[in-house]
Structure 1
Amino acid sequence: MREPAAAELRGLGVSPGAAAGPVEVMAPPPELPPPRPVADAAEEARLALRALEAVEAELEERALAAPTPEARDILQAQAAIAGDPMLAAGVRGRVEQGADAAHALHGAFDEQARLLLAAGGRFAERVADLADLSGRAVAAALGRPMPGVPSPGRPFVLVADDLSPADTAALDTAAVLALVTERGGPTGHTAILARSLGLPAVVGCRGILDAAASGGLAAVDGTGGAVRTPVTEAEAAEVNAAAARRAAEESAPAAPGRTADGRGVDLMVNIGSAADLDGVDLTGVAGVGLFRTEFLFLGRYEEPGLDEQAAAYAKAFAAAGDRTVVVRTLDAGADKPLPFLRLPDEPNPALGVRGLRVARERPDVLETQLAAIARAAAGTPARVAVMAPMVATPEEADGFVARARAHGLPAAGVMIEVPSAALRAARILREAQFLSIGTNDLSQYALAADRQHSGFPELLDPWQPAVLDLIARCAEAGGAAGKSVGVCGEAAADPLLAPVLAGLGVTRLSMSPRALPAVRAALLRFTFAECADLAERVLAADGPAEAREIARTRHNERGRS
């Protein structure tokens, strides 16, 4: 019997790697039953609140057993939502109005979800997390179990509408080969956790539930965002054999990043706190290319003080040893509003007060942070640098550099996330010591495509020629000035793209520690001249699919040579 032709679906590749295997579809949560009359409102409220307590306890237990720091932090945040007194008050109020426990829980979570949708940005992406918490609480109130990850007794590709943090964090990576979800975005918890677990993952893959309903085998490309199903057993074996070859190649001893002819490319890691360096092998790693300091501020109603900040930064500097640590100053606003800033609501927060622009409203926050970084840097062998997010003009860049120098921090650079900054990179580098390109936001602003929206993944693709043109312009400016230009967005973790970026003149790539071996191995396949030639060919492509295929073909040729 002839095998059916495989259909290729596309989504957002959010965790690199490839795998193929039989498909298993995650069952949805139990349906909400019809409303029922409430005889005893007090008892009904106790039933609903016990359900919330059960969900909170379960998530806290899972957080303690979490396999990665990212999973632990996310599960603890989910547990905090379930234990939120305001949520409990909303549940009680609905019971007092006559709702039964299940509908009171569902209504309270639904209200929170509507608020997040109205806020937009990353908040809108958290609606799926609230839906999961609602399902868990309703199931607990009804005395029903929540469906878990399938256990077919063999390795499989997991397909779902969306995956909750609780389910993703507990995945058995020996059984789950890859993840594919119908919904979700690049900064959702599924994406974050898949990367931390090292699982190939594609999110926002429209049509995957229908395609997977008939079973069969699927091949998942977590780097490029393609999912093919059904594939033959021979095709699946070929995909897995190629992945095994890459894994063997990547298992070579750690060493500094370089091309085949010895041209250096600094490989660095992204962190949110000192804890993210626990257990990380820093052999050959140039340092921390992105220290996201906003995690110290999130959820706070009072700004962390100078002493608290300095202590947190000092821990991270100590963990890095004598390596470079690039500290991004507070990246707040838009999808990361901070209560203590008390900024007014905005009609379009992604284009409003965010990143360095917060200092226009609250200059004291930036001054305190720079003072804390300087204090922590004074007592460490780490080579500390600072950079500002969301810089749009040379004037803004110059102002930030001057502020940093006033605090005794001479190594000051800027993030390139706005096309205007990329176009004026040469002028910015008159004062700034380095540039670091955030490809997620750069793609969003260059192509007018909300990075949280899964409806047009091709516009959020860092392989878009327009985005690569902007990166090339920055790298050219850096080369002319003799200054470093790095990439710290998700594109830095793409092993297919790494030689292209090196060929454009990018000198630093900063990523999740798990991505280091694949990127290191990819660079070693090419001489610098070959990287430059590959970059030229990719820049001439008409679109991201063609650009990626050019690179994939060259990588495959190098893999066979």
Structure 2
Amino acid sequence: MNLRGVGVSPGIGHGPAYVLTVSVPEPPEGATYTGEADEEKERAMAALTRVAGELEARGNQAGGEAEEILKAQALMAEDPGLVVKVRTLIDRGLAAPRAVFEAFIKYRDVLAGSGGYLGERAADLDDIRNRVIALLYGVAMPGLPAAAAEPYVLVARDLAPADTALLSRAQVAAFVTEEGGPTSHTAIVARAMGVPAVVACPGATGIPPGVRVMADGTSGDVRVEPAESDVAEAVGADTARQAAIASARGPGRTADGHPVPLLANVGGPSELDAAVAAEAEGIGLYRTEFLFLDRAEPPSVEDQARAYRAAVAAFPGGKVVVRTLDGGADKPLAFLPTPAEPNPALGERGLRRFRRFPAVMEEQLSALAAVGSEDLQVMAPMVATAEEAGWFARECRARGLPSVGVMIEIPSAALRARDLLVPVDFVSIGTNDLAQYAFAADRQLGVVSALQDPWQPALLDLVAMAASAASEAGKPCGICGESAADPALACVLVGLGASTLSMGAGALPAVRAGLAAHTLAQCRMAADAARARTTAAEARAAARVHLPGLGRLGL
């Protein structure tokens, strides 16, 4: 049996399937309690608090990006709105388990409708809910095997951060999930661990437990009970690929010497070491919201400045591009009011929210200015108009910040990039959100993942428009979306005019090798060929005809 999903973390993983299932019972509808309401509420609150504490403890133990995810999840467990809803339902006579179940349903529906980061966290709520209900019923939560004779392929409908945070490459050979997308937490954790992963794979949970499975985190192929010769061939090819990739060292450049600085996307100080180890030439996207997401109040100017200084110190002489707070809508901040919006992904988020709360903006820009480095560049997220770009540039320059840019992640910004470039020094294209808005397809939703394919010719057209405008203005145009992590697409993006590429640290070696195997002319021919096609699959195939070095590298 062969299955097909979306490869989100490259490599070949094989081993026995461990199928993770959740068997916490749904509390009966209308279930009531005996005794006092206050006692029942206290029981529910104690369970929520204990689950939050366990999630935070796992995060502290895991460290890195998993720590940030689990701390945000712990905050969800004790969200004030959720707590109020649970208490209200108990006051109406519902038993604690049923009150928790119904409160989470309402909370989940709100989050799922938000899309983006927050929409993805809606799936995590099921895990929190099940853990709380399991505590209230006194039953054990299904978990991962404490020990295994060999690394296993972990198969699930979806994976919660608490399931994966403490795993290691020695325990798990690959992840395969039915749900999720390229930016889901499963994908993030898998790439951080260096474990192959396939998501959005229909039928995965139908794999019989214990049978041999081989997952290709590049192609998205999942083979059940593969022949030993097929496994050996795939592993051999992957080993050769890794050796070829490792042989490419030094600054990013094409085969004919055209420089393409390769930068890292990071979410906080804990990710700097991995970026340095991968030989990143700087930071192309510092997601500062991760400094704010797990806090009841914003970090101080001193705390922020310390984090930004650490980034600059990690890359002496290299650029460090910091994105200002991208909060609101899909990334709620506990210390700011959350507006009720019918479509939060199209509402008050990014720069729009930054402008509405000048005190938060003032502190972040002051912290950035306090770093006092010429290598520090600052850019705003979710910029839609030239007026917004001009306002942001004035605010930054008034505080002495030397280099100011904006992100191109809304179609209007790509269409009028020439206007946005006038007041700023550079632009950076966020292909994840640009695809989401161009195709009206939630980037976290597996059923529309085909529209999120960064090879879509319409998306390449938007990138080309922005890059061309930047070239005419004599200003840099970087790419900081996950599309830059695909070695073939990285060559195409350079051919479209991208001046820098930024990605997760784990993707840097393969992209470096892919660029080094091709000339700038080949990259341009690949870009033209891709844009001339009508589907993502055709664009990918047409581009690869002009990129023969990828095959030799096993990419």
Alpha-carbon shift at residue 84 of structure 1 (Å): 5.2
Contact 1:20 1:239 in 2 (8 A): no
Q: Distance in 1 between matches of 2:100 and 2:340?
A: 28
5+ residue gaps in structure 2? none
Structure 2 residue 457 is the aligned partner of structure 1 residue 474? no
Residues 301-358 of structure 1, C-alpha deviation per residue, up to 9 Å, x if partnerless? Answer: 6555544443443343333333211111221232123354436322222223222223
Letter in 2 for 1:23: A
* Of 80-89 and 267-276, the range deviating more from structure 2: 80-89
Deviations 1:472-515 (A, max 9, x none): 22233333333221111111222232222222221211112222
Q: Is the 8 A contact 1:499 1:531 kept in 2?
A: yes
Q: Deviations over 1:154-199 (max 9, x none)?
A: 3332221111101111223223222121122344322222222122
Give the conservation status (yes or no) of the 8 Å contact 1:16–1:494. no
Tell me if structure 2 keeps the 8 A contact 1:327–1:387: yes
Structure 2 residue aligned with 1:136: 131
Structure 2 match to 1:516? 508
Residue 23, structure 1, aligned to residue 32, structure 2: no
| Mapping of residues 377-392 of structure 1, within 5 Å | 378=372, 380=373, 383-392=375-384
Q: 2:366 aligns to what? A: 371
Give 1:538's aligned residue.
530
Q: Secondary structure at the match of 2:488?
A: coil
Aligned in 2, Cα 1:56/1:536: closer, same or farther, shift over 3 Å?
same
Deviations 1:92-116 (A, max 9, x none): 5555555445334433433432342
Whole-Å Cα distance in 2 between the matches of residues 544 and 332 of structure 1?
31
CA 1:466–1:20: 2 relative to 1, 3 Å: farther
In the aligned structure 2, how far is the partner of 1:213 from the partner of 1:223?
Answer: 23
Aligned residues: 550
Return the letter of the residue paired with 2:441.
A
Q: What's the CA shift for 1:519?
A: 1.6
* Paired position in structure 1 for 2:26: 32
Structure 1 position 452 matched with structure 2 position 444: yes
1:294 equivalent to 2:289? Answer yes
Q: Does residue 55 in structure 1 map to residue 51 in structure 2?
A: yes
Match of 1:197 in 2: 193
- 3-state SS of 2:468 partner: helix
Q: Once the 2 structures are TM-superposed, how far is the Cα of residue 451 of structure 1 from its aligned partner? A: 1.6
Judged with a 3 Å threshold, the aligned counterparts in structure 2 of structure 1 residues 10 and 201 are, in CA distance, closer, same or farther, namely same
Matches within 5 A, 1:151-170: 153-170=149-166
Q: Distance in 1 between matches of 2:338 and 2:93?
A: 37
Aligned to 2:395: 403
Q: Secondary structure at the match of 1:509?
A: strand
CA contact under 8 A between 2:3 and 2:204: conserved in structure 1? Answer: no
Q: Larger deviation: 539-548 or 43-52? A: 43-52
Question: How has the CA–CA distance of structure 1 residues 389 and 52 changed in structure 2, closer, same or farther, with 3 Å as cutoff?
Answer: closer
1:348 lines up with 2:343 in the alignment: yes
Q: Would the aligned equivalents of 2:390 and 2:424 in 1 still touch at CA under 8 Å? A: yes
Structure 1 227/371 Cα, relative in aligned 2: closer, same or farther at 3 Å?
Answer: same
**Could you report, residue by residue, the CA deviation over 1:41-94 in whole angstroms, capped at 9, with x for unpaired residues?**
47655654554444334323322321x411112223333434556655655555
Deviation at 1:293, TM superposition (A): 1.7
Structure-2 separation of matches of 1:339 and 1:82: 13
Is structure 2 residue 536 aligned with structure 1 residue 557? no
Structure 2 Cα separation of the partners of residues 359 and 134 of structure 1: 32
Is the partner of 2:464 in helix, strand or coil?
helix
Residue type at the aligned position of 2:534: D
1:206 has 2:202 as partner? yes
Is the contact between residue 9 and residue 206 of structure 1 (CA under 8 Å) also seen in structure 2? yes
Residue 464 of structure 1, CA deviation: 0.7
Q: Distance in 2 between matches of 1:421 and 1:90?
A: 40
- What is the letter of the counterpart of residue 25 of structure 2? E
- Residues of 2 paired with 1:476 and 1:242: CA distance? 38
| Superposition pairs of residues 241-252 of structure 1, within 5 angstroms | 241-252=236-247
The DSSP-based 3-state class of the residue aligned with 1:126 is: helix
User: What corresponds to 1:322 in structure 2?
Assistant: 317
RMSD: 3.1
Aligned partner of residue 455 in structure 1, secondary structure: helix
Change in CA separation of 1:333 and 1:84 when aligned onto 2, cut-off 3 Å? closer
**Paired residue for 1:492, among 484, 488, 492?**
484
The 10-residue stretch of structure 1 (179-188 or 126-135) with the greater mean CA deviation from structure 2: 179-188
Aligned-pair CA distance for 1:406: 2.3
CA distance in 1, matches of 2:124, 2:175: 17
| 1:90 to 1:351, Cα distance in 2 relative to 1, 3 A | closer
- Greater Cα shift, 318-327 or 230-239: 230-239
Q: Mean alpha-carbon deviation: is it higher for 442-451 or for 521-530?
A: 521-530
The 1:63–1:527 alpha-carbon spacing in structure 2 relative to 1, beyond 3 Å, is same
Kept in 1, the 8 Å contact 2:382–2:407? The answer is: yes
User: Once structures 1 and 2 are overlaid, which stretch shifts more, 248-257 or 487-496?
Assistant: 248-257
Partner of 1:117: 112
Q: Supply the AA of the counterpart residue of 2:181.
A: G
What is the CA-CA distance between 1:132 and the residue it aligns to? 0.7
Q: Distance in 1 between matches of 2:488 and 2:214?
A: 18
Q: 1:400 to 1:18 in 2, by over 3 A?
A: farther
Structure 2 residue aligned with 1:71: 66
Show structure 1 runs of 5+ residues with no match: 1-5
Deviations 1:511-550 (A, max 9, x none): 1222222222222222222222222222223311223344
For the 8 Å contact 2:514–2:550, the answer to whether it is kept is no
Query: Residue 440 of structure 1 aligns to which amino acid in structure 2?
Result: N
Q: 1:108 to 1:25 in 2, by over 3 A?
A: same
Describe the shift of the 1:234–1:22 C-alpha distance in structure 2 as closer, same or farther (beyond 3 A). Answer: farther
1:349 partner letter: P
1:457 offset after TM fit, Å? Answer: 0.9
1:437 to 429, 447, 457: 429
Inter-partner Cα distance in structure 1 for 2:353 and 2:74: 30
Shift of 1:300: 5.2
Check the 8 A contact 2:280/2:505 in 1, yes or no. Answer: no
- CA gap of 1:161–1:284, structure 2 versus 1, over 3 A, is closer
Amino acid across the alignment from 2:58:
R
- CA distance 1:81–1:477, change in 2 (3 Å): closer
Confirm or deny: 8 A CA contact 1:502 1:532 kept in the other structure.
Answer: yes
CA 51–275 in structure 1, closer or farther in 2 if over 3 Å, else same:
same
Q: Which moved more, 1:547-556 or 1:272-281?
A: 547-556
Residue 124 of structure 2 aligns to which amino acid in structure 1? D
One-letter amino acid of the counterpart of residue 341, structure 2: E
Match of 2:167 in 1: 171
Name the structure 2 match of 1:3. none
Match of 1:420 in 2: 412
Helix, strand or coil: the match of 1:264? coil
Structure 1: distance between partners of 2:307 and 2:148: 44
Compare 454-463 and 418-427 and name the one that shifted more: 418-427
Percent of matched pairs sharing the same residue: 49
Look up the SS of the partner of 1:558 in the other structure.
Answer: helix
Q: Is the 8 A contact 1:217 1:232 kept in 2?
A: no
Distance change >3 Å, CA 82–CA 399, structure 1 → 2: closer
- Spell out, residue by residue over 1:357-399, the C-alpha distance to the aligned partner (whole angstroms, 9 max, x if none): 23553455434432331122x2x4x601111111223333233
Any conservation in 1 of the 2:414–2:465 contact (CA below 8 Å)?
A: yes
The worse-fitting range, judged by mean Cα deviation, of 468-477 and 332-341 is: 332-341
TM-score by length of 1: 0.87
Q: Distance in 2 between matches of 1:316 and 1:322?
A: 11
Change (3 A) 1:255 1:195: same
